[in-house]
Amino acid sequence: MRSAILTFGIFIWTSIIFGQITGTSFELNEPVPSNETKDWRASDFIKMTFNIVTPPGSNFSATSDVNNYVRASIDPFYVEPPGGGETGGPIPGDNGVVGTIPGSLSVSGSGSAVYSIPIEVSPGVSGMTPEISLVYNSNGGDGVMGPGWTLGGVSAVSSVRQTEYYSGTQVNFDFQSYFNAKEYSLDGQKLIQIGVTTGYQTAEYRTEDESFSRVQKNAWNDGWFFTSSTKSGLYYEYGYSIDSRQRSSAATLFPERAVMNYFVDKIKDRLGNEIIFNYTNIPLSGECYIASIVYGNCKVLFEYTDRESDIITRVQHHGSNNTFKVTKRLTTIKSLFNGTVYRTYNLHYSSRGTTENSYFDWLELVGTDQMKFNKTVFTWPDIPTEDYNFNCSEELTGNGKPFVGDFNGDGLNDICFQKAMGPNGPNVHDESNEVVIMRNHGGGNFSATPSISNHPNHKYQQVHVADFNGDGISDILLTVIEDINSHFIGDLYLFNKDFGFTLYPQAIIYNGSYNGYRADVGDFDGDGLADILIRL
């Protein structure tokens, strides 16, 4: 027996780990056959029974063998992981398997807090697997997952307006004109046009921050689709399928050109492996949602429910509203392999605030055996639910546009309301001759002050609220297009603390011809006084 124990001790320190048995403690009371290897590892203790009084076979013993060994070791830092089916968690109501849904926190280049949750899907052939994620950005807007959240991995080419910085001019979306030079971005990156092959029908682009991807716009079916070839050899297709185009609800002439977003519909590698993206498209309301992703024998499905409150985006186009809505919210993501569900992600929302907006408040992951992790829970700051009552001594009706300014210097924002005579509300072509100012008394109470208007012979087209004399009180400038080839005039109202004002009527802002129908106001020289910018 002594030689057996000595041999056992030698193997404790010299053998390698094979078939290790782990736990907090063990009591060894049976012989180990010479043709078996045993390796026990415990955090607390291992007890070996050597009692000669007990019946034969009830004592621990081990015999050396050239091909097998017996080892027992104590590791005080070893932590026994929970076994399958063990549930619970730190939050009341936790009933999932102990563990967490993976996620990573980072800071964007603009200083936003970003939290990303990768969606686990079945692997595709040759690495052709969609990279889907749920992404929160502290500066993000509202969308199909509520405020701040977006679905990552669904790439898109988006229409953007022309700006002075990139194009030397400011032009809104022109969806109808086939030959109008349009501006685009790819996943938020501005696309810079570097070549045109056939008018404006086909063009080549690069991203503003060089990604070494070649982006091509191609004419097709009275509209366009885009392709992108990356340096890694992947080929992307955007908007080739009709369902991958988010179109404008107001488009009547050539509707296939009135596209806000061209979503990716195919990714292909050099070997011909493909990832296909399918969408649910509702042109009447300008809606487009990812419905499924198919690659090989794998599929990812996206399910939605109705939102309590819709998100409506309106884009002006030659006096008409192009409407794009979000009426759905993403509730389930399922990953399938050969028709069998591999992973299911359940998204839960709560309605908050007076508008009953949808806020993403927890995520649940369910596996193939219906086992699930504890939910990842997101908390949001309290939102006041009481209604804000607006009481005013004068009823405002008809088309118009509000402006905000402190016109008496009491620290409360008053309202300046432009009454428009045109049918579409105030824009560059509408005319008006009256502005109503409503004084803010606090607590949601307003009273109308005497209205102001410019010279009856000159109906104004723009209202500018700014401090033009540096006294800390907001003033009003009503601009008038007198003669585009002659001069630009306006009525300037300088307000004081009693809601009185000094009027400078028909002031010539610029004496000479100019290009355009509007002016812009801002402190362009940093002296604290509002300046006026006119395009010549």
SS3 sequence of 313-326: EEEEECCEEEEEEE
Q: What is the pLDDT of residue 14?
A: 33
Among 122-131, 446-455, 481-490, name the one with the lowest average pLDDT.
481-490
- How confident is the model over 267-291, as pLDDT tens digits? 999 999 999 999 999 888 889 999 9
Q: What is the pLDDT of residue 397?
A: 64
pLDDT at 429 over 50: no
Asked if 330 and 343 touch (Cβ cutoff 8 Å), the reply is no
Please provide the average confidence, as pLDDT, over all residues in the chain. Answer: 79
Residues 6+ apart with CB under 8 A from 37: 18, 19, 68, 69, 70
- How confident is the model over 90-108, as pLDDT tens digits? 565 666 666 788 999 999 8
Tokens of 167: 């194009």
pLDDT at 262 over 70: yes
User: In what order do the strands lie in the sheet containing 487-495?
Assistant: 462-466, 475-483, 487-495, 501-511
415 or 226, higher pLDDT: 226
DSSP state letter for 243: G
Confidence of residue 476 (pLDDT cuts 50, 70, 90): confident
Return the closest-CA partner of residue 131 out of 142, 120, 141, 139.
120
Cα 338 to Cα 291, 294, 298: the distances in Å are: 18, 11, 6
Strands 70-74 vs 38-48: parallel, antiparallel or unpaired: parallel
Q: Residue 260: how many CB atoms within 10 A of its CB? A: 20
Asked if 331 and 346 touch (Cβ cutoff 8 Å), the reply is yes
Largest CA distance in the chain: 122
Return the closest-CA partner of residue 527 out of 479, 467, 475, 476.
467
Q: What is the pLDDT of residue 166?
A: 73
Tokens of 524: 């362009």
Ramachandran area for residue 517 (φ above 0: left; ψ -120 to 50: alpha; else beta) = alpha
471 or 164, higher pLDDT: 471
Residues 6+ apart with CB under 8 A from 7: 62, 63, 64
Mean pLDDT of 70-78: 79
Cα–Cα dist 277/128, whole Å: 13
pLDDT at 361 over 90: yes
Cα–Cα dist 104/4, whole Å: 53
Identity of the highest mean pLDDT range in 177-181, 241-245, 287-291, 486-490: 287-291
Residues 6+ apart with CB under 8 A from 330: 144, 145, 151, 302, 303, 304, 347
Return the closest-CA partner of residue 295 out of 278, 314, 275, 267.
275
- How many residues does this entry show for the chain? 536
Cα–Cα dist 91/52, whole Å: 52
- How confident is the model over 369-416, as pLDDT tens digits? 778 888 899 998 876 655 556 666 666 666 677 889 999 888 899 988
pLDDT at 479 over 70: yes
User: CB under 8 Å, gap of 24 or more: what pairs does 471-475 form?
Assistant: 471/409, 471/496, 472/409, 473/406, 473/407, 473/408, 473/409, 473/497, 474/405, 474/406, 474/407, 474/414, 475/501, 475/530
Identity of the highest mean pLDDT range in 30-34, 172-176, 185-189, 447-451: 185-189
- How confident is the model over 447-460, as pLDDT tens digits? 877 777 655 555 67
152 or 87, higher pLDDT: 152
Cα–Cα dist 473/167, whole Å: 36
Asked if 105 and 114 touch (Cβ cutoff 8 Å), the reply is yes
Can you give the residue ranges of every domain in the chain? 2-74, 154-377, 391-534
Tokens of 90: 């730190």
Mean pLDDT of 305-320: 75
Beta bridge partners of 531: 522
Confidence of residue 198 (pLDDT cuts 50, 70, 90): low
Q: What is the pLDDT of residue 265?
A: 97
Confidence of residue 426 (pLDDT cuts 50, 70, 90): very low
